[in-house]
Amino acid sequence: MLPLFTQLGVVAFGRIKPTYEQVTRSVIAGAVAAIFGLTAYVALLVALGIYIADFHGALWAALAVAMLNALLAIVVIVGVKIANRQAQRRVEAQQRAARSRLPDPVTLQLLASVPALLKGRSLITTAAIAAMVFAVAKSQGAGRYDD
């Protein structure tokens, strides 16, 4: 019996170590890429500053680079706010859809009383509860195929 459990464990959990190693490699590669990206960005800003300084002086070059960075920061912040707002609206729409699928309050009250009714454990009570659950399920569209 132990070899069976061992095989089931390999089948069920065999991908944990490779997945962990892939995630680790991805995180390390992402960190290295971020360092190179930041280095390239700083070099680009320095080059832009030197280029503008040749025409307008160091002060205007520094101001132009700072304004460019501020503008990019504002664009990123606005983009993130828009994405967050869209995600929030999507979640609210899913919650409204889930609430619309709930049964009416009378049905919810009947379903809430089911555990109390089951304490009697008589056959007639169980049959009555089964009939009530069946009726509620059918009223909610259970068993229908909308093809």
Task: Mention every residue, 6+ apart, whose C-beta is less than 8 A from residue 132.
Answer: 110, 114
Q: Which of 5-9, 31-35, 98-102, 129-133 has the lowest mean pLDDT?
A: 5-9
Domain boundaries, the chain: 2-101, 104-141
CA 102 to CA 100: how far, in whole Å? 5
**What pTM was estimated for this model as a whole?**
0.49
What would the pLDDT profile of 44-92 be if each residue is shown by its tens digit?
888 988 998 888 888 888 888 889 889 988 998 999 899 989 989 998 8
Q: Who's near 21: CB < 8 A, 6+ residues apart?
A: none
Mean pLDDT of all residues belonging to the chain: 78
- DSSP H stretches of helix in the chain: 2-13, 16-56, 58-100, 105-112, 114-118, 123-139
d(CA 127, CA 2): 44
pLDDT of residue 1: 53
Handedness of CA 113, 116, 120, 123 (dihedral sign): positive
